[in-house]
Amino acid sequence: MYKLKKLLIALLIASAVTACDKSEDNNLPNNIEYIKYGTSFGMCLGYCNNSIQITNSHFYFYKSGWNLEGVLPEISFSERVDTKIITELAQKINYFSFLKLDSVIGCPDCADGGAEWIEIGKQGKSHKVIFEYLNEPDETKEYIEYLRTYMKNFQIESNDTAFSITEF
Q: Whole-angstrom Cα distance, residue 113 to residue 134?
A: 9
Domains annotated on the chain, with CATH? 29-167 (3.30.1560)
pLDDT for the residue numbered 43: 86
Mean pLDDT: which of 10-24, 81-95, 136-150, 153-167 is highest? 136-150
Provide, rounded to the nearest whole percent, the portion of the chain with pLDDT above 90. Answer: 46
| Residue 6 banded pLDDT, cuts 50, 70, 90 | very low
Higher pLDDT, 159 or 30: 30
pLDDT in tens, 60-91: 999 999 999 999 999 998 988 888 888 888 88
* Summary mean pLDDT of the chain: 79
Q: Whole-angstrom Cα distance, residue 28 to residue 25?
A: 8
The DSSP annotation for 53-111 comes to EE-SSEEEEEEEEEETTEEPPPEEEEEE--HHHHHHHHHT--HHHHHTS-SEES-TTGG
Hey, CA dihedral for 35, 160, 82, 57, is it positive or negative? positive
Report, as an integer, the average pLDDT of 133-147: 93
